[in-house]
Amino acid sequence: MCRILVAAARSCGRALPSFAPALAMTLVLGLVAIPRAAHAGPIPLDTFLQFSFDGAGAAAGCAPDDALGGFCIGSSGTPTVFLDAPAWTFVAAAGGATLSVVDAFEAGDTFQVFDFGAAVGATSVPVGGVDCGDDPMACLATPGMSMGVFALGAGAHSLSLVALAGSGLGSGYLQVTGAQAVAEPASLALTLVALAAAWRARRGCSDPTGKGARS
């Protein structure tokens, strides 16, 4: 976008306007500040996403979406999607988002939630002898299953899970509900600002007085 200003000035055979350096710096800083969705594990919102774990330790996605993930038995009811390798990222809109995490199949596992490496919270203590099956909606409705609901603020998030107590190979689900922020319109707005500045510079070439034609 800075090149737009330079090209406009050169086409007139004039130096850049005095405001150009400050405007160019503003545009550059604006572009840097715009949040962009990460490409390592971006996740869809309002969808139940399945993860795997093997005893206590870091959770992974499900094979084959995550080459290092465990084998997962998908839901036989509610539609779900296998997660790829963590971290799992998204950008929440101004209203923030809500994260739900629940264990599946036999109870006995609990999870610590992290966002950019900072602890967000842990799921509830499970009750032994409970089995909710493979459907995340059924698991959320089953007393005794380890689950948790966490409020997340607006902006970028990078989620990961650690199984605090695991009973061998297992899987669970997470779901993020809310609106996904869209950064592209901000980039478009900055581009329009640069084009408007270039137009003003070119207009100044044809009308050095800056008064313009009057009828």
pLDDT score for 112: 98
Strands 80-82 and 48-54: parallel
Cα–Cα distance for residue pair 66/153, rounded to 1 Å? 27
The two three-digit tokens of residue 111, written as one number: 């999870």
Give tens-digit pLDDT for 47-65: 999 999 999 999 999 999 9
User: Residue 137, Cα to own-chain centre: how many angstroms?
Assistant: 23
Low-confidence ranges of the chain (pLDDT < 70): 1-41, 166-167, 182-215
Among 47, 43, 46, 41, CA closest to 80: 47
- The reported pTM is 0.67
